[in-house]
Amino acid sequence: MAKTDRLDKGAVLQRDRETYAIVPHIAGGICTPEVLRKIADVAEKYGAKVIKATGAQRLAIVGLKEEDLDNVWKDLGMDPAAAVGMCVRSVKFCPGTTFCRLAQQDAVGMGLKLDEMYHGYSLPAKFKIGVSGCPNCCADSWVRDIGLIGTKKGWKVVVGGNSGSKPRIAHLLAEGLNDDEAIELVKKVIDKFKEYQKSQRIGKLINDIGIDRFKKEIGLSVAEQIAEKIDTSRINEKALYNIGYGLYIVGSVKDGNINAQIANTVFQVTAEPPTVAVSINKDNLTHEYIKESGVFSISILAQETPLHFIANFGFNSGRDKNKFESVEYRQGKTGAPIILENTIAFIEARVIEEMSVGTHTIFVGQVESADVLRAGTPMSYAYYHQVKRGTEPKTAPTFRKEEPKVATKGDLYQCQVCGYIYDPSEGDPDGGIEPGTPFEAIPDDWVCPVCGASKKDFKKIS
């Protein structure tokens, strides 16, 4: 019978399909000469081929025979490391203030504590922690699911990073924390991640729900801080520097009711006085509101805005749905809504001119207030299409019929809500669907990567 991993014995089958490697747990790779000698002695006694230092700062004994595994562990008298499986695999930490002259925080003390709390802790997906004593980040904190970075003012905690086939840099959650505060925040992140029960890395979860929503769910609401910062009594011209060929939420108000939609056609018309223009489809509810009240707001979206957040405003009409039900916003001085989530700057304007252009009206507005809400890169229209693989509805002025796709492997299916086409040869790697997966084999709880519609909203087109 073909051999497989012997996870019950903490052993992984090697490339020769014959021998095994085991990894005893050594927290942070710090061990005494006695432990090192014991590992060397046991490796020698059982004829191991080599001892390999792993990326998680441990020592793998490689090339063991299956029948020796029990005795190897008995002789070692050590626990296996959580090298595989859905759990906290490793807590990697640097020498910190214990040994390194550049260190600003005690990475060893913190790393040992987190290792004791979480090593092997069961979670919906694999999870890695990195603790670095200073911004040099020798423990790779920015590419760990949770990273801690020591600074003179305390710990920085970052979340959602990973290396591997799809590298991702973590988001900053908080800084200037003392040891207890940092541990408390790590605990909140891990508890929240566990609650989701989805077998995807935490970075993917953040891609799906947005970092602002994730922060809110662990009690770090950015929206409140941003709402406090909003100053509608001035025109900060820097807000206008964020206009590109991007994606925006254009909002308005009518009889005290608010509405908003996605628009990609926003541009600055003059500098003195500052004026901006938007092109809005005459069928949209937002059009009706702008016509009536003569005011509109523009919230400039950040590059990392999740697709479902865009779909909420861009593939639904306020006539059918309250788009603000679970969105943080505040009404500005004109009464139009300023979106607080995923927004890097906002502008409010009062209509001074309008021009009918076929299906759309171009509203030109004089800016009444504008401000930058946070640092960040605005979402560009190109990024939305090329990286996010977003689409747009027929009401968008830039709507283009997709070039007819030709199926290379299996049938093509199209989302009836947003027009996205599922191509089995491409799969949906972000949604956990490998290239080559036929539509029929996708799990029922899979959703459209663009608008979040369910699998049953797809129709076969080839």
| Contact residue for ligand SF4 among 56, 107, 218, 235 (CB under 6 A) | 107
Long-range contacts of 179-184 (CB under 8 A, 24+ apart): 179/106, 179/109, 179/110, 179/113, 179/155, 181/154, 181/155, 182/110, 182/148, 182/154, 182/155, 182/157, 183/110, 183/113, 183/114, 183/117
Using rule CB under 6 A, residue 129 touches ligand SF4: no
CB atoms within 10 A of CB 354: 16
Q: Which of 136, 200, 303, 331 binds ligand SF4 (CB under 6 A)?
A: 136
Residue choice 395, 414, 415, 424 for contact with ligand FMN (CB under 6 A)? 395
Residues 328-387 that bind ligand FMN (CB under 6 A): 384
Q: Does 261 bind ligand FMN (CB under 6 A)?
A: yes
Distance CA 321, CA 311 (A): 12
Residue bearing tokens 């004994």: 61
Does 100 interact with ligand SF4 (rule: CB under 6 A)? yes
Which lies closer to ligand SF4 via its Cβ, residue 100 or residue 209?
100
Q: Does 285 bind ligand SF4 (CB under 6 A)?
A: no
| Beta bridge partners of residue 378, listed in sequence order | 302
From residue 219 to residue 248, what is the string marking binding to ligand FMN with x (rule CB under 6 A)? ----------------------------x-
Question: Shortest distance, CB of residue 215 to ligand FMN, whole angstroms?
Answer: 25
284 binds ligand FMN (CB under 6 A): yes
Q: What is the dihedral of CA 232, 234, 239, 245, to 10 degrees?
A: 70
User: Should residue 397 be labelled a site residue for ligand FMN when binding is judged by CB under 6 A?
Assistant: yes
Give the orientation angle of helix 179-196 with respect to helix 202-209, to 10 degrees: 80
Q: Is 414 helix (H, G, I), strand (E, B) or coil?
A: strand
Angstrom distance (rounded) from CA 274 to CA 276? 7
Query: Of the candidates 103, 125, 205, 310, which one interacts with ligand SF4 according to CB under 6 A?
Result: 103
Beta strands in 271-389 (DSSP E): 275-281, 295-301, 329-331, 337-339, 343-357, 360-372
Q: Which stretch binds ligand FMN (CB under 6 A): 108-116, 224-232, 267-275, 316-324?
A: 316-324
By CB under 6 A, tell whether 442 contacts ligand SF4: no
CA dihedral 47, 51, 54, 56 (to 10 degrees): 90
What do you get for the CA distance between the two ends of the chain, in Å?
43
Which C-beta is closer to ligand FMN: that of 214 or that of 420?
420
31, 91, 112, 137: residue in contact with ligand SF4 (rule CB under 6 A)? 137
Interface stretch with ligand SF4, choices 29-37, 109-117, 134-142, 398-406 (CB under 6 A): 134-142
Residues contributing to the site for ligand SF4 (CB under 6 A): 94-96, 100, 102-103, 107, 132-134, 136-138
